[in-house]
Amino acid sequence: MTEQDFIPKPYSKTLENGSVNWSSPSNIALVKYWGKKEHQIPENPSISFTLDHCKTTTTLSFSKKETSDSFSFDVFLDGEQKDSFKSKIETFFKRIECYLPFLRDYHFKIETSNTFPHSSGIASSASGMSALALCLMSIERNLSSALEETDKYFNQKASFLARLGSGSACRSIEGDLIVWGAHKEIDGSSDLFGVKYPHGVHQNFKNYQDTILLVDKGKKQVSSTVGHDLMHNHPFAIRRFEQAHENMSKLINIFKNGDVDAFVKIVESEALTLHAMMMTSMPYFILMKPNTLEIINKIWAYRNKTNSKVCFTLDAGANVHVLYPENEKETVLEFVKNQLVEYCQNGHYINDQIGFGAQQIGE
């Protein structure tokens, strides 16, 4: 598939108005996307677990306008108008306009809500952009004849569009393991959209658990977009991008044979490498907080003392994702309550697990 394949044929139907509704989850990367080329093309492949409980629900209402000269939309979060979201959505619309030629023909009302608090430090861009992309695809499907759009095309194009809103959002359409970025050992993998991980996955990795420790709910000092940019001319960038390819190759075997110890090593190394890239950028920055390190040390001590396979990963912030197999659910939750909650802001954490992707709620 190329970009051209996502430019639709002239639509066969017309629509005056209507409303579509999707909920779409967040995801947590195991091999990280950090660094991109023009047009949201990743510098390296990444793979993520789709989450289940952390999600965004979006209702997109549309009504035909008199003229098609500019984009017209209003955004609401939990019922409150959010003009601060508009510039990001305007940029998104500009990027996807040639793939969705109806965008200027309608006024849109975007009503969105998250299952997690907006100020939790959990990125809502993956779930938010994927939910919006899916709503737009539902409108496109209603404008096209049914025969033109298979489910596969629908999901691929939704992921392709979501990527243009926020890179990691392209991994939220489906589940439970999604690869984005071309990798030589993963057939069908693409820089343009996420695909379901095609190889065997051992039972040990089914229903994996993710407890998200909310260490710092404040706004990040450096956005992901700025962080990605700092990978241009970064002294370690080339080697880092190679390493991501190598880690993907190693994970293929690990997923197949169920080697959770080897999984832990790759996942924790990826998390620390991501933050090492931030610390060695120019300008350099640190997104971890003292409590992030306290938690990491507690996890290592717990693993040394017990047979636990619990491990951590981080995204571009201070929060810690605690990952563990389903059969350790009770013991790890005890450990979290007894030893880790004290490092969370206001004692807040979210219990989540692997999920299976976005869902249409109604039309």
Footprint on this chain of ligand DP6 (rule: CB under 6 A):
29, 32-34, 40, 46, 123, 125, 166-168, 224-225, 228, 274, 315-316
Closest listed residue to residue 280, CA positions, set 316, 244, 227: 227
| Amino acid sitting at position 223 | S
Least distance between ligand DP6 and beta carbon 335 (Å): 25
- Which residues neighbour 146 within 8 Å (Cβ) at sequence distance 6 or greater? none
CB of 246 to ligand DP6, least distance (A): 16
What is the DSSP-derived secondary structure letter of residue 56? Answer: E
> What whole-number distance in Å separates Cα of residue 109 and Cα of residue 33?
31
Spatial CB neighbours of 87, under 8 Å, sequence gap ≥ 6: none
> Nearer to ligand DP6 by C-beta: 166 or 291?
166
Nearer to ligand DP6, 6 or 102 (CB): 6
* Minimum distance of ligand DP6 from residue 358's CB (angstroms): 16
CA 335 to chain CA centroid, Å, is 27
Q: Which of 311, 318, 236, 242 is nearest to 276 (CA)?
A: 236
Residues pairing with 42 in the sheet: 36
Cis peptide, bond prior to residue 283, ω within 30 of zero? yes
Decide whether 34 or 324 has the Cβ nearer to ligand DP6. 34
Q: 121: helix, coil or strand?
A: coil
Cβ(108)–Cβ(59) below 8 Å: no
Beta bridge partners, 56, equal 24, 114
Nearest-approach distance from CB 281 to ligand DP6, in angstroms: 13
Q: Which is nearer to ligand DP6, 123 or 237 (CB)?
A: 123
Nearest residue to ligand DP6, using CB?
167
Toward ligand DP6, which CB reaches closer, 21 or 159? 159
Compare residues 25 and 141 and give the one whose CB is closer to ligand DP6: 25
Write out the two tokens for 45.
């492949």
Strand stretches in 88-140, DSSP E? 106-114
Sequence-distant (≥ 6) Cβ neighbours of residue 212 within 8 angstroms: 54, 122, 319, 320, 321, 322, 349, 350, 352
Tell the smallest beta-carbon distance from residue 190 to ligand DP6 (Å).
Answer: 16
CB closer to ligand DP6, 203 vs 223: 223
d(CA 361, CA 363): 7
Shortest approach of ligand DP6 to residue 18 CB, angstroms?
Answer: 29
Cβ closest to ligand DP6, residue 181 vs residue 325: 181
DSSP SS3 for 149: coil
Which residue's entry shows tokens 């938010």? 128
State in angstroms the smallest separation of the CB of 166 from ligand DP6.
3
Structure tokens at 259: 């080697």
Q: Which is nearer to ligand DP6, 274 or 332 (CB)?
A: 274
Cα distance between residue 162 and residue 157, in whole Å: 8
